[in-house]
Structure 1
Amino acid sequence: MAGGTNHTFPAACVHKVLSNDYLLMEILLRLPILSLRLFKPVCKQWLSLITSPSFILTRTRIPTIDPPSGLFIRRSSQNFNEYYNYDFVSFDPRIPAKRSILFSFNSNAEIVQSCNGLLLCYTLCLGEYHIYNPLISMFKRLPPLIYDLHYDRNNGIKYMNMAFDPTKSPYYKVVHVGTHGSVYDDELDHFIKIRTYSSETGVWSVWDDLFCYSSFDGFCLGTYWNGAIHWFSYYERFHVIKLDIVNHPVLTKIQFPLPLTNFQGPLVHCDRKLFKSHDSLLLLCKDYDHSRHLNIYEMKNGYSVWSVKYFVNLDDMMRPYPTWRMPTNWRCCDTLSIILGERDEDSFMVIELSGKILQYKFVLETVSELFDSGKPVISINDCFECIASFAHA
C-alpha cells in the first residue's frame, strides 16, 4: 500500500491470468514443491499443468531443496508381510499421515538412505538397489557391482550411502564401501575400498585409494551434507568422520565440541546423533550418558567451529504433559529428526516416545502429537526424512 491506497486486482484480470497456461505455469514454477502438491486438486487445469512432463522437467532445473514434509517410519511387526511397510508421518497439518506406504516398484523394498528427495532402496529377494522418488513414483535400478579378485563378496563390511544436492548438480552419486582383500588375506579387515555410481555416467567407478577399516563402521548411518558424508565411528569417539566425494574421496575428522558441563572422561558425548537441516550440520548429544539435558550444536559450511544452537531439558520439556512420561533411559537415538525453520519459533525436533511420534518446538516449548504408531520404531536406521522433489531417479 502506497499513500494509503489499497491496490486490488479486478476479478476479470485474475481470471485472465489464471486461464493463461503460460502465465499460470510461470507462477506455479516459483512455488515450493509442497505447495504444488497441495494445489493439484484445485482443478483439472492445475493438475494437468503440475503433472505435465514439461513442467516437471522445468521445475527440476530450478536448484532448490524444500524442507522435509514428514518422515517415513518402518512399522514394527512380527508379520513378514508387514515387515517392509512404512508409515508416513506428516509435519504439515494440511497433509494427512498415512499407514502402510508401499513403493510402486516393489512392495518388499527397504529404505537404506534418504537424501534431498531421493530414496536409496534395497530389495532382499532380488538383491537389487534402486533409486526412488516417492513424490512422482519414479525409480531406477542400479547396475550390479562387478567385483575383482581382491574384493571379497562374503566377508567384511559392505555399506551403501547416497550423495545428492540439487542446488549443486542434478546428478546423484551412490557410494559403496567394502572390505578390500581376499578370503586368504590376513589383513582383510584392515582396508576399505570405495566405489561410486554416478547418475551422470550410469556406471560404477573404482577408486585406487585404500582407507582404514576402523573408520567406516558407522558409514551406513551417515548424513550427506555440504559435499561430504558424515558419520560416527566407534573407534573415533571424539570425532565426526567426514568423507568428501565431490571430486576425489578424502577422509578427514571433525573434533567434537567441548562438553558444556565439567564432565570429563572417555564417555563424554557417548550418546549422540547427527542431523542436517538447511545449511547446517547438527550434532545432538548429552555431556554424559545419564544426563537429562540435550545439547544441539550447529556447524556451518565453513567447518570452523561448533556453536550451541539449542539446549533442551528433558524433564522440563515434558512437565506440562504428565500423560507423556519421559523414561529415565531416554536416548538421543529416540530423536527422529531436527528441523530448522526460517524463524527460530518454527524450529523443532521430532521424538519417539512409547510408539507416539511427538513434535517439540524449541522456542515455544510446546509438545504436540504427530502420529501414534502403536509400537516403537524398530531402530534408529528405520526412520527417513521425506522431502518433496521432482528430481529424476
Structure 2
Amino acid sequence: MESYVVKLGAKRSRTSKQPYPFSRDLKLKSSSPIASAAKVASSEDLLIQILLSLITNPHFLRLCNPLSPSPSVSSLFFASSSSCRSNPDYQFIPLDVNDKCLVPFKTLDFTDDPLGSGIAVLQSCNGLLLCASYRAREIKRTYYVYNPTTKQFATLPQIRHECSKYVCGMTLAFDPIKSPFYKVVCLRRSEKSRQLFQIEIYSSETLSWRASGEPFTAPKHTEFQNSIYWNGSVHWWNGSFHWWNGFTNHGCWRMDTHTLYFKVDEESLKQLPIPKKQYAYYHVASYVGESEGHLYLVEGDSDFNRLFKVYELARDFSGWFMKYQVDMSEVTNVFPEMMKKNPFHGYTLKIISLVRKEKEEKDGSFLVLEIPGGQIIHYNLVDKSVKKLWEFPPGHKFYNDNCLRHVLALSYIESLACV
C-alpha cells in the first residue's frame, strides 16, 4: 500500500524574529509556563498549526453552524476549456447577481500530476473537491482530495492493482457536521463477472481501502461515473450516494423503474423508485441535484422543453413529491432567444442547477439556466422573476448547434476542513 501524502499548497511562514511583547518587562525563566507560552506565541508556524487544529475541530464546526444541514454555496464553477487542452480552465458563476464572485482557482496546480496531463475536478462535496489525473486511463489515474480554501490536498493511495482495471467510478462523501473525516467510494466491476459490481471504501481516518459488502447487480443503464464535461450521474445526499440511470441521446430516461443508492455509514445498498412516468415510453429527466440538504429532480415534458416539474425526495426516502411547476414560456418574454426557429423543437435551454434557499417563500429558491448566446440566467421558482447572472466572455466557443455548452456545474463552498 502506498503511503498517504498530505501537502500544503501555500508556503509555510517563517518563524518571527520579533521579540514577544512581554519579554522586555518580565524576567522569565525558560522553564516557566509563561516563558513556554511566549515561545509558542513568537512562532507563526506553531500558532498557525494550533489555530488550524482548533477551527477544524468538529465540535467547533458544530458551534459555528449548529442548525444548517450543509454549508452555503457561494458560487458554481465548471470546466471551460476545450477537451484537447492538457489542463482544464475553470469559470465561476456567482449565485447572486449583485455579488462579486470569488475565484479561488483558474486551473488546478496544487501538485505536479505524475502523468503530466494536468488535474481535473470530478466532484464537489461540502467544500472538498475530488480530483483526478486528466485524460488518463483508469489503471494509471491518480486521485486527490483538495480543499481550495486552505490549499491543502491529499493524494489517495492506489486501489489494489488487480482491481484498478475494473473501476467504473469514484465518489467523495464528506459531512463536516457529523465527522471531520471523509470517505471515497469506488464502484468497480467484480472479478467474478462483468455483470456484478463491488463497492470499495477509502477512509481518511484509516488511510486505507477495503471491500464493502458482496457483489451486486445494477439496472442496465445505471451510470457510476461523474465527468467534467457532461451531466453528472452520481449525487451525494442525506448520507447516501445516488446512482442515476443513463440518458439516451435525446436526454430521456430509459425504461428502468428504479435507481440505486448506497448509505455510506450503514454500508447498505437500496433501491429508489423513479417518479411515476407521465408518458408511454419514457420521460425526460432534465436535472438531478442536491441543494441545502434536499434532493431534487426536474422532469421535462418531452422535447419541447416548455413545462417542467420539480420533484423533491422525502428525507426518509419514502417517495417523491412535486414541489414546483415551471412554464418556460414566461422566460421567453425576457429572453426570446430561447425560442428556436423550428417550432417543433420547442425551447433551447439547459438546467445547470437548482439552488434552494432556507426561507423559500421569502428568499425564493431558483433555477440556474443556460440559454443560447452564452448567457446564464436566474429563474426564481417562487415569484417567477428572471434575470441574467453571468455571460460567457466574447469569442468563447460553444459545443453544439444550439450554442449551448452543456457544462456540468459544481458547487463551490468555503471550508476549513483538513484533508
1:138-177 pair list within 5 angstroms: 138-148=152-162, 151=163, 153-154=164-165, 158-177=168-187
Cα offset for 1:230?
1.1
Render the CA deviation track for 1:223-278: whole Å, top value 9, x for unaligned: 1111111132246633232122212231322231454xxxx3121x2333211112
Distance in 2, Cα, partners of 1:242 & 1:54: 34
Cα distance change, pair 389–98 in 1 and its aligned pair in 2 (3 A): closer
Helix, strand or coil at the partner of 2:197: strand
| 1:296 corresponds to 2:316 | no
Pick from 195, 215, 223: which aligns with 2:235? 223
The answer to whether the 8 A contact 2:58-2:177 is kept is no
Cα distance change, pair 366–112 in 1 and its aligned pair in 2 (3 A): same
The aligned amino acid for 2:351 is T
Cα distance change, pair 372–284 in 1 and its aligned pair in 2 (3 A): same
1:169-188 pair list within 5 angstroms: 169-181=179-191, 188=193
The aligned amino acid for 1:242 is Y
RMSD: 2.9
Pick from 281, 296, 303: which aligns with 1:266? 281
| 1:56 corresponds to 2:61 | no
The answer to whether the 8 A contact 1:193-1:209 is kept is yes
Query: Where do 5+ consecutive residues of structure 2 fail to align?
Result: 1-46, 113-117, 226-232, 247-253
Cα offset for 1:130?
0.4
1:43-82 pair list within 5 angstroms: 52-53=51-52, 56-58=55-57, 61-63=60-62, 64=65, 65-77=70-82, 80-81=85-86
Q: Match of 1:85? A: 89
The aligned amino acid for 1:225 is W
What TM-score results when the alignment is normalised by the length of structure 1?
A: 0.74
Q: Match of 2:31? A: none
Cα distance change, pair 258–158 in 1 and its aligned pair in 2 (3 A): closer
The answer to whether the 8 A contact 1:242-1:254 is kept is no
The aligned amino acid for 1:89 is I
Cα offset for 1:180?
1.2
Q: Match of 2:295? A: 281
What TM-score results when the alignment is normalised by the length of structure 2?
A: 0.70
Q: How many residues align?
A: 328
Cα distance change, pair 343–101 in 1 and its aligned pair in 2 (3 A): same
Distance in 1, Cα, partners of 2:286 & 2:332: 20
Distance in 2, Cα, partners of 1:368 & 1:97: 20
Helix, strand or coil at the partner of 1:237: coil
Distance in 1, Cα, partners of 2:375 & 2:323: 26
The sequence identity of aligned pairs, in percent, is: 26
Render the CA deviation track for 1:309-343: whole Å, top value 9, x for unaligned: 11111121221333x424446578x2111111122
Distance in 1, Cα, partners of 2:416 & 2:221: 32
Q: Match of 1:116? A: 126
Bigger mean CA deviation after superposition, 269-278 or 128-137: 269-278
Query: Where do 5+ consecutive residues of structure 1 fail to align?
Result: 1-47, 183-187
